[in-house]
Amino acid sequence: METAVRELSYSQAIQEAMAIAMDSDERVILMGEDIGVYGGAFQVTGDLIDRYGPDRVMDTPISELGGAGVAVGAAMTGLRPIFEFQFSDFATLAMEQIVNQAAKMRYMLGGEVSVPVVMRFPAGSGTGAAAQHSQSLEAWLAHVPGLKVIQPATPHDVKGMLLAAVQDPDPVMIFEHKLLYKMKGPVPEGHYVVPLDKAVIRREGTDLTIVATSIMVHKALEAAEKLAMEGVQVEVIDLRSVRPIDTATLIASVKKTNRLLCVYEGVKTLGIGAEISAIIAESEAFDYLDAPIVRLGGSETPIPYNPELEKAAVPQVADIFAAARDMVRGAV
């Protein structure tokens, strides 16, 4: 039977995925600050407390370290918690539980224990929330063996990847860009999964590869359409997962287009683009490059409160367009 496909927002797709997971497995519980009656800082949890009750949709005290610790312990003792941070910035308060406990328990106990916890992080700039509520910290956690770190860019993917994360035996960190929450797109009804380790080519091209993450995928696609009007065909890859990284898709694309531009919102230095660049430099694709690899990342500064400065601190469509055009024109 053919599956119906509707238009849902990114946040509606997350909420539907959590409901499906809770319907199919009584071990799945939701935890986080203000996710109960209030429905979550960004209203993503919504009315799930009315449908599943406070025993399965639990408000936690204002202690990210304590809440994350309870979620990790619950996962180790048989539950499947989905823990929501109000902002990804607050992960810094819970690093002990994420990095030293969740990521390492399987290895330190000889594989006798798994930690099937999912943590959700509203992330990124663009809401005027300033320096302490607008960061992109996915590269911090992607540096930690034992974690999976994903950045779904569409409503379809966030539902399928969240459902895959709930089934995974290891901790999965989901970074959700806040500006995507209202974005709508086609989402199939019912249960489906999207692999946690596969990138996807959003646009085929022959002249340049842009590897982008999260909301930058959409900005890269917009820039690619503008470049197409000048006869430049850009291939846009949505990385989707930053740990693990789908190296095969990246290498094959660069071997085809001979140029690579990495676009991401996190701070440029020591960011995702550095790792992608190194992957290509250490692969057979290096010999296919006709131009130096270019990284287009966030500025070396905390995210400003001023709206114009906030925009200037992260790559915009015009920046991607200009960088890509310089590369294909041989100006780099």
Q: What Å distances lie between residue 53 and 50, 140, 190, 310, CA to CA?
A: 6, 34, 22, 40
State the Cα angle at 99 between 98 and 101, rounded to 5°.
70
**Bridge pairing between strands 80-84 and 148-150:** unpaired
* Region label for 232, one of left (φ > 0), alpha (ψ between -120 and 50) or beta (otherwise): beta
Q: Which of 33, 84, 133, 235 is catalytic?
A: 133
Long-range contacts of 251-254 (CB under 8 A, 24+ apart): 251/279, 251/280, 251/283, 251/284, 251/285, 253/201, 253/209, 253/211, 254/209, 254/280, 254/285, 254/288, 254/289
**Catalytic residue among 64, 138, 176, 265, which?**
64
- 275 annotated active-site: no
Q: How far apart are CA 116 and CA 113, in angstroms?
A: 10
**DSSP character string of 29-97:** EEEETT-STT--TTSSSTTHHHHH-TTTEEE--S-HHHHHHHHHHHHHTT-EEEEE-SSGGGGGGGHII
Q: Does the active-site annotation cover 308?
A: no
Q: Which residues contact 110 (CB under 8 A, 6 or more apart)?
A: none
Residue entry with tokens 């500025």 = 299
Residues marked as catalytic: 64, 133
